[in-house]
Structure 1
Amino acid sequence: MTDMILDKELDQTALARLQLEGRLLNAVFRGPTSTPERIGFRGELALRFGPQLADEARPPELSCEQVMAVANAGDLHLAFFAGWLLNFEHLKDVAEVLGDALSPDGKYFLFCDNIDLSSRYQVPYQRAVFYVLPIVESTVYNEILELLYLEKAELKKKDTAGKLDAVADAALRFDSPFEIISYEKGCELMGPVRNPNENRPV
């Protein structure tokens, strides 16, 4: 399938504006899934860009990484979104970037590096509610499989689109209540921000 067709199909979804703004980066997958009328994305969501010099591409200063998302053709909202943040405080950036693509009916998950390992929250922000969880199993994919009781061995039989469909379908059925806190309270409770470059060889 050509990029032109992919873009045409993506243009009918809530992912279109994010693509137009150059925010859908490092795509592991972008395109139709196995579910009719559904477009999926796995990659990185740019939250803030650095200064642009001439025609050079702007590298993001801040990103939500390990993103998994799906949107349906003709729907103005994202049905499902999950991603990783180094700092809980950047939930605000995610919410503001996604903006009108968020819906009270969507299921949105953020795995944050600096919240207590025993904590799970629901954080209302703008039009949506975010499920906020610690990152324990090292990747969003592993974390969300565990949260949604999905067997990795079973998903290995599926291609990338099929895996994303399985995760999104399970996420859309998810309704376990967590402690509800405000964004401001979350900022008070969050721990220090880890330096991701610490202890790396130079």
Structure 2
Amino acid sequence: MTETLAHKEIDDTAFARLEHEGRLLNPVLKGLTNRFGRVGFRGELALRFAPKLADEARPPELTCDQVMACATIGEKHLPFFAGYLLSFEYLKDVAEVLGDTLSAGGKYFLFCDNIDLSKRYQVPYKGAMFYVLPILESTVYNEMLELLYLEKNELKKKDTGGKLDAVADAAIKFDVTFDTITYSEGLELMGPVRNPNENRPV
């Protein structure tokens, strides 16, 4: 698909503003999936930008990583979004950045590094409901497969768009309920934030 065609598709979806603000970074996928009328994104969502120095483009100060999300052409809300956060606190940043793309009916999953490994929550914020879960399986993709009872081997044959379609289709139907807490209660419950650079080989 040509870049202009990909842009044209994105411009008619809930991704349009995020794309124009330069927030859809390092995409493994950014364009049409195998499902008719669906545009998918897998990559990073920039939450806070570093101040620009002259023309130098600097990496964002804060990102939501391992994002899996989809949008439907002609619709202004994201039906599905999942991503990884180092701290539960950044849920607020995700909600504010996604802003008008969120809806009460959308399914939004955030895997946080500093919440109790035995707990799962629902957190209402900005008119949307976020499922907040610990990260146990090391990647958002694996976590979503586990949560949605999807068989990894069955998805192996699919391309990136097909894998995202399978996860999104199952996620949109997800209707399990967890304990509902407020954002401020979550802030009190969360643990310390891990330094992502520690234990990394230099």
Q: Which category describes the TM-score, using the shorter chain as reference length?
A: over 0.9
Report the residue type matching 1:71 in the other structure: A
User: 2:44, 2:65 → 1: CA distance?
Assistant: 5
Aligned twin of 2:150: 150
Report the residue type matching 2:136 in the other structure: V
Report the CA distance between 1:128 and its aligned residue.
0.3
Aligned length: 202
Normalising by structure 2, what TM-score?
Answer: 0.99
Percent sequence identity over matched residues? 74
User: 2:32, 2:198 → 1: CA distance?
Assistant: 38
Aligned twin of 1:27: 27
Unaligned stretches of 5+ residues in structure 1: none
Report the CA distance between 1:54 and its aligned residue.
1.6
Is the counterpart of residue 74 in structure 1 residue 74 in structure 2? yes
- Map of 1:45-194 to 2, 5 A cutoff? 45-194=45-194
User: 2:157, 2:197 → 1: CA distance?
Assistant: 35
User: 1:201, 1:159 → 2: CA distance?
Assistant: 32
Report the residue type matching 2:177 in the other structure: P
Aligned twin of 1:10: 10
| 1:116-150 deviations in Å (ceiling 9; x for gaps) | 00000000001100000000000000000000000
**Runs (4+) off by over 4 Å:** none
User: 1:129, 1:199 → 2: CA distance?
Assistant: 34
Aligned twin of 2:38: 38
Normalising by structure 1, what TM-score?
Answer: 0.99
Report the CA distance between 1:201 and its aligned residue.
2.6
Unaligned stretches of 5+ residues in structure 2: none
Report the CA distance between 1:84 and its aligned residue.
0.1
User: 2:54, 2:198 → 1: CA distance?
Assistant: 33
